[in-house]
Structure 1
Amino acid sequence: MSAAAVPPPDAGPDPEPNPHATAEQVEAARRDPKLANVLYHDWEAGSYDEKWSISYDERCIDYATGRFKLVAGSDGWPYDRALELGSGTGFFLLNLIQGGVAKRGSVTDLSPGMVRVALRNAAGLGLDVDGRVADAERIPYEDDTFDLVVGHAVLHHIPDVAASLREVLRVLKPGGRFVFAGEPTKIGDLYARKISQATWWAATRVTKLGPLRDWRRPQAELDESSRAAALEAVVDIHTFDPDRLEAMALGAGARDVKVVTEELAAALFGWPVRTFEAAVPPGKLGMRWAMFAWRTWERLGELDTTVLQRVVPKRFFYNALLTGTKAVR
């Protein structure tokens, strides 16, 4: 990506979102993972919350704070100022602030569209949040600025994760903490992709049949979804071995590093469900389906936590969560 695409700290106004990339831009993005992240997430920004069933109510507040507690506990709450890297629409930080983890914050993302939606969501919730379009490998804030840095499903999008972790430690105040959740493990990503591919293949073919045609997403949307799925293969750069992720954070200079994993039964259920939902027209499945899917996924997550995590090695779970602190001088 050119330097102009990712502004330095002293750059002017953030670039405008580009939700309708040209074929030439998409082709160029296949060779440039940062550009791919911008185009893919600008395209998704307007529908991202709906696609992933993201909300800013008790359900997602409990989920976000639960992930934080799982890996980092609840000591130090509330942190005064928090930063979210790769914020997307603000799901993690905004729900953490509402849950009492932090008082105020800043959102950053490579995608101008995502930053715009995150700030709109924050304003709608009445939260003290600012935002910037920013590269996680070159965070546009001064040293020792934040008490907490968080991210959800972001590290696997960053080309140089080690450089980003060093930047995280730079902008943290001494003694400050970072928490990253939702990072795919190597084994988890393998079975999630295989299951999703099989579900997409089956759903898009079955809905060609006469009685089920009204369950088929319009062809133009399917074509666009297929193109987006192909670009997703570019934006998803890494998967992680839990032990190596821990070693990477230690190598960046972090202290008190810890990695935990979650979601095995929940992932085996959740990924085909999400893929099926993407293959049918929006709103077709209705609220009863949404509640069934959420509650089933939640119960399976409890099974993972109470039973499977005790007997299954952590590398087999889908999600890795990472935390650590900056040394006190």
Structure 2
Amino acid sequence: MTGFDEVEAARSDPKRANILYHDWEAETYDDKWSISYDQRCVDYARDRFTLATGEDDTAWPYGTALELGSGTGFFLLNLMQAGVAKQGVVTDISSKMVEVACRNADNLGLDVTGRVADAETIPCEDASVDLVVGHAVLHHIPDVEQAMREVLRVLKPGGRFVFAGEPSRIGDFYARHLGRLTWWATTTVTRLPFLSDWRRPQEELDESSAAAALEAVVDLHTFVPGELADLAESAGAVEVETSTEELTAAFLGWPVRTFEAAVPPGKLGFGWANFAAGAWKTLSKVDSGLSQVLPKDLFYNVLVTGRRSL
């Protein structure tokens, strides 16, 4: 458990908060977010990449891909398994996350190196990579436009970037409220004696609450799709496109994730996992149709892609 003094000191320093929070979460992060490196997540990562870019495997593989804010390596490692890139570099401001990402890559037999790095000053040479990717990272970076300039600097001329999993302004509003309501309901109901075996130990609940409080500090931005595109273009990117996904799926996904975090690990079982995954896929198909008629701004996840000019 991270010390109270450390948490309090981090509240006024977003970068320190990011290091503290992600070091704290590194060893349990994959379990917390149901991250895996099997076909389920390979398909998810590839589909996000294809949604953002419109590319399929005829355009791949890229030579060297760098992940910004890699965490445990979820996005890049699964993209590499899908054939998107041959070699990878995982970077994160958290040294613990880089350690876990490199360990995951080793276990998968992937050609990946890791570096502790601040996204606003990427420690790579100019024009040294073919592709930069990131998943749920831009909203943690204090100066997103500066990070985007760095992305374009390290990309080779014509190189592409893809960022997915960023919270929209409207989506973040309803996701946070759904999460808080689900947490309150679950932790309240499980106080009843006949549901006590569904309640996690109070120490674990307190730690999760502390983590959630710190998470609110490290989540610095939400995005309007058009404004995110303008920001990328202001940094110098060309061929910039945004897309969005998850509306009804987010209304299911956030309560499900929060409920899973509030009950003892392993309590829900394989049947629950199948239900959650199947329902999410079904609603994602519904959302794909809704995206043709509803404004982008309503959906939870924002994706952005573009290139460095030739």
TM-score by length of 1: 0.93
- Are 2:158 and 1:175 aligned? yes
CA distance in 1, matches of 2:211, 2:146: 28
TM-score by length of 2: 0.98
Within-5 A mapping of 1:142-291: 142-291=125-274
Deviations 1:273-297 (CA, angstroms, capped at 9, x unpaired): 0000000011110111011101110
Give the equivalent residue in structure 2 for 1:314.
296
Give the equivalent residue in structure 1 for 2:24.
43
CA distance in 1, matches of 2:155, 2:253: 34
Amino acid at match of 1:313: P
Amino acid at match of 1:292: F
CA distance in 2, matches of 1:51, 1:224: 13
Give the equivalent residue in structure 1 for 2:12.
31
Give the equivalent residue in structure 1 for 2:305.
323
Count of aligned residue pairs for this structure pair: 308
Give the equivalent residue in structure 2 for 1:53.
34
Gapped runs of 5+ residues in structure 2?
none
CA distance in 2, matches of 1:264, 1:32: 32
Give the equivalent residue in structure 1 for 2:68.
85
Percentage of pairs with the same residue? 67
Deviations 1:27-60 (CA, angstroms, capped at 9, x unpaired): 1100111111111111111111111111111111
DSSP-derived class of the 1:324 partner: strand
DSSP-derived class of the 1:310 partner: coil
Amino acid at match of 1:23: F
Within-5 A mapping of 1:289-300: 289-300=272-283
Question: 4+ residue stretches of structure 1 with deviation over 4 A?
Answer: none
Gapped runs of 5+ residues in structure 1?
1-19
Deviations 1:88-147 (CA, angstroms, capped at 9, x unpaired): 100000000000100010000111111111000000000000001110001001100100
Deviations 1:64-104 (CA, angstroms, capped at 9, x unpaired): 00000001122631000000000010000000000010001
Amino acid at match of 2:299: F
**CA-atom RMSD, angstroms?**
0.7
Amino acid at match of 1:95: N
Give the equivalent residue in structure 2 for 1:97.
80
